[in-house]
Amino acid sequence: MKIETKAIHLGHEIDQETGAIAPPIHLSTTFERDADGSYPRGHVYSRLSNPNRDALEKCLCGLEGGEGAAAFSSGLAAILNVFQALLPGDHVVVSQDLYHGTTRILRDILEPWGLQVSYVDVNDFSQVRTVIKANTKIIYLETPSNPLLKITDISALSAIAHEAGALCVCDNTWPTPILQRPLELGADIVVHSTTKYFGGHSDVLGGAVISKVKDAFFDKIRMLQQIGGAVPAPFDCWLVLRGIQTLSCRMKNHSENALEIANFLQKHPRIEKVYYPGLVDHPGHDIVLRQMSQFGGMLSFQVRGNREDALAFIGRLKIIQRATSLGGVESLIEHRASIEGPQSKTPDNLLRFSVGLENIDDLIADLNDALE
């Protein structure tokens, strides 16, 4: 099956008892044993497994092309479990430009616990090679990055990781497997916030880890998932699985709208800079043409002026909503530095824009009116 068909059918088997097309929601926390004490139907307790979570994980495996998937209660829970599968004293190399929540996990939880972390420009391969140690276990990246939309060559960085005997882990939340397939490009593990484009409607929290192979490292991630219990509820799994059915058409429209808006903003005199890999002058444009099928629905831009000018601009918007998060059908914009806090390195006049599925003329008119 092609990926669009997989998104609709994987995890959506016909219910054998009722013939229902939509899967039932299994709310039970516990499952019956047979008289001999066995569990022939495969489930013991919902922290360990649940039919809805099984269906979602099967779908995620098929979409990303992996052998194993573990669904979590949030994207950060998924990322935390990947790093927790390492040992104190292990070393990881991570991109300098990461989602601030990932950076907080590393600095506030895992470095005090004993993980060694090197923050580098992962696009500078010589710098990456310089910081690699004998105990380096993971090279971690986002592409496009959050919020500056830097692009990293997944194949090249994966090769560097494998030369060092390390794993390459890629956050694929923004492109989704519809637009970018890191496991096929050489990465070993993909992480997602399924809250975003997979769910697609700003109404469910979740995360996922998908591994190219079911090996000992993935088994440890699964063990941490089951013992730690950071698992999504059955209804959350059901909502994400339902959202995935429209993922391919939504990503196409998100990308088309974002490209038009990026071109509009780049020409506007009140905009200082636009960060979008679909623009031909973006430094990662050539790489994106090789590893993504479209350019995605996320962009950032700097309003001419300062923090107050940026906040005043978004205060004048009527259709585009001021809110954190991304990937929903509605357009969302936020002043990123104030979300990231006092340690933020994001420019104070930068706004991150999750371009929704509204009519493109309405979105451009809203931006244009607010910029006047």
Please state whether beta strands 207-211 and 189-192 pair in parallel, antiparallel, or not at all (unpaired): antiparallel
Q: Which is the catalytic residue, given 53, 137, 196, 250?
A: 196
pLDDT band, very low/low/confident/very high, at 339 (cuts 50, 70, 90): confident
Q: Are residues 85 and 58 in the same domain?
A: yes
Give tens-digit pLDDT for 252-266. Answer: 999 999 999 999 999
Predicted confidence band at 40 (pLDDT cuts at 50, 70, 90)? Answer: confident
Q: In whole angstroms, what is the distance from residue 64 CA to residue 62 CA?
A: 6
Is there a single domain that holds both residue 143 and residue 291?
no
Which of 184, 211, 242 marks a domain boundary? Answer: 242
84 exposure class (CB count in 10 Å sphere: 0-12, 13-18, 19+): middle
Using CA atoms, how far residue 231 sits from 50, 86, 196, 208, in Å, is 10, 20, 17, 10
Those residues whose C-beta lies under 8 Å from the C-beta of residue 136, and which sit 6 or more positions away, are 90, 91, 92, 93, 164, 165, 166
Q: Which of 90, 171, 188, 236 is catalytic?
A: 171
Q: Are residues 160 and 216 in the same domain?
A: yes
- Catalytic site includes residue 196: yes
Q: Each residue of 79-120: pLDDT tens digit? A: 999 999 999 999 999 999 899 999 999 999 999 999 999 999
Q: Report pTM.
A: 0.95
Residue the block writes with tokens 């107050």: 308
Q: Give the domain-ending residue among 227, 242, 257.
A: 242
Q: Specify the amino acid at residue 57.
A: E
Q: Look at residues 91, 106, 107 and name the one whose alpha carbon lies nearest to residue 139.
A: 91
Q: Sorting pLDDT into bands at 50, 70 and 90, what band is 10? A: very high
Other beta carbons within 10 angstroms of residue 339's beta carbon come to 13
99 is a catalytic site residue? yes
- Coil vs helix vs strand at 142: strand
User: pLDDT exceeding 90 applies to what percent of the chain?
Assistant: 93
Same-domain pairing of 296 and 164: no
Out of 99, 140, 197, 276, the active site residue is 99
CATH number, domain of 352, equals: 3.90.1150.10
Same domain? 37 vs 131:
yes
Contact call for residues 350 and 302 (beta carbons, < 8 A): yes
In this structure, the answer to whether residues 351 and 233 fall within a common structural domain is no
Domain tally, the chain? 2
Q: What is the pLDDT of residues 297-319, one digit of tens each?
A: 999 999 999 999 999 999 999 99
Residue where one domain finishes, among candidates 204, 223, 242: 242
The tokens for 332 are: 């969302």
Amino acid 132: pLDDT:
98
Query: Do 159 and 257 reside in the same domain of the chain?
Result: no
pLDDT tens-digit map of 213-232: 999 999 999 999 999 999 99
Are 174 and 252 members of one domain?
Answer: no
Q: What is the CATH number of the domain that holds 105?
A: 3.40.640.10
Check 47, 214, 242, 270 and give the catalytic one: 47
Q: Which domain holds residue 164?
A: 3-242
Q: Looking at 45-159, which runs of residues are DSSP E strands?
A: 68-72, 91-95, 116-120, 136-142
Same-domain check for residues 207 and 352: no
Catalytic annotation present for 304:
no
Q: 298 has which bridge partners?
A: 354
Residues 186 and 308 in one domain: no
Residues 223 and 346 in one domain: no
Assess whether 71 and 219 both reside in one domain.
yes
Residue appearing with tokens 């229902």:
20
